[in-house]
Amino acid sequence: MRVPVLKESVGLRYFTFFYLYVMQGIPAGFALTAVYNYLIGNGLSAKAVGSFAAVVGIPWTFQFVWGPLIDKFQYSIIGHRKQWVVLTQTVAFLASLSLLLVRNPVAQLSLMGLVFFVHSVFASIQDASVDAIAIATVPEAERGRVNAFMRGGFLLGWAAGGAVLAYMLHHGSFFRAALLQSLALLVFTVLTFFIKLDRHDRLLPSFGRHPRPVVPGTDLNENPSLGWLFRELYRAMTERYSLRAFGIILLAYLSSYVFGAAYSFHLIHNLHWPDRDVSILQGSWGSLASFGLLLGGGFLVDRLGTARLQRWIMIGLGVFLLMFSCLAPFWHYKPLAFGGLVLLNMADPLISVAAMPALMAFCQPKIEGSQFTTYMALVNLCGVTSSYLNGWLLEVTTAPMIGLACGTLVLGLLIVLCLQPQRQLA
């Protein structure tokens, strides 16, 4: 019986990239939803909580460093770039175990932030490696659907980290929540070990001087030089059409992140919602609704193209931000506030479902890891910036005003998007 491998099996590709992103989503949901809201609920200031979120997110902005490193040493007898995934998953698991040293998250905020920072360093390298493998192994006709499974997996992982671990945090202890997260990461790491990318790959690395097996149909059997990598990366990143399209995507992400963080703080701090309720609602209904839309959007982007779907999403996001912000006097009505929370949770995945296939299409062969992780580093920088910026903005203005500004920015970006030639956006 022939065991399926990633390059030959459509089903295995969907499954593999789905669970790899579930693995990434669990710690992110735990840190940036469950723990984030827990800290707000325990009286920490917007600046303190925003600084914690920024510390957790900073390593994800270093992906432009990891990309060239991964591409420089991409060859592996166990599968090109797979060695990076297995290694970083193992170290990220060990970092997660270090969270068991934290007994009181509020009193030990600095220690907890440091441990999450270390975990994020290795998780971000893992993410960069997985993205590079996806671009190299997924046919272009499948990228919309595979991207939907990737983002959907991240959302379900975020739901587990945000809702399930928030419940454990409040009804058990931080220790039990951290232990459950660590066990989940261990299971996924073992699973990754047994998945083969190509029929010629081995499960175990060989030590000593052994001839490298040449993989038919690929020119990846030798590692490129760093000089060549950086020259090609600069050329690809500065192409006018991709630079403009990415700038629009980047500002759309920033708008959704800034208002999303401001609205969560407003619910807990101003409307006195229990932080547990906000975490569970974000991690359950919000993530499940987003997951359903993602799967549908993945099929749509393969059929309609990224440009058309991107316009629809930006129209919806801009109009929602403006209308919902104008309804701020009625946010104390829980059905309205709950609906806004669910819809805001959909913003990131909906932007991603159109944006990620476009960014993958911009990536050039042999620098996939470097180029795509540079894009992701800048997107992640938006998340980190929004966390810090939100803490500052809420001291000088209100969440509704932030929402009005973000909605205006998104609709302005839409006008710029519509003025671009069609060939530059597909």
For residue 178, what pLDDT is reported?
94
Average the pLDDT over each of 25-29, 317-321, 328-332, 360-364 and give the range with the smallest value: 360-364
d(CA 245, CA 227): 27
Domains of the chain: 10-203+222-424 (1.20.1250.20)
* Mean pLDDT in residue range 11-17: 90
d(CA 259, CA 407): 9
Highest mean pLDDT range out of 59-73, 258-272, 294-308?
A: 258-272
Q: Fill in the DSSP letter of residue 225.
A: P
pLDDT in tens, 126-146: 988 888 888 888 887 787 778
| Mean of all residue pLDDT scores within the chain | 82
Taking a C-beta distance cutoff of 8 angstroms, is the pair 409, 90 a contact?
Answer: no
For residue 213, what pLDDT is reported?
47
pLDDT in tens, 96-108: 999 999 989 999 9
Terminal-to-terminal C-alpha distance of the chain: 41
Q: Would you state the structure tokens that stand for residue 110, as one six-digit string?
A: 């600095």
d(CA 35, CA 14): 30
Predicted TM-score (pTM) of this structure: 0.70
d(CA 322, CA 412): 12
Q: What are phi and psi of 397, to 5 degrees?
A: -150, -165
Closest CA relative to residue 329, chosen from 281, 275, 279, 270:
270
3-class DSSP assignment, residue 208? coil
pLDDT tops 90 at residue 180: yes
pLDDT tops 70 at residue 304: no
Helices and strands counted in the chain (H then E): 17, 0
Q: Which residues contact 274 (CB under 8 A, 6 or more apart)?
A: 41, 268
* Mean pLDDT in residue range 373-398: 82
pLDDT tops 60 at residue 233: yes
65 or 219: which leads in pLDDT:
65
Average the pLDDT over each of 28-37, 129-138, 255-264 and give the range with the smallest value: 129-138
373 or 107: which leads in pLDDT:
107
For residue 220, what pLDDT is reported?
47
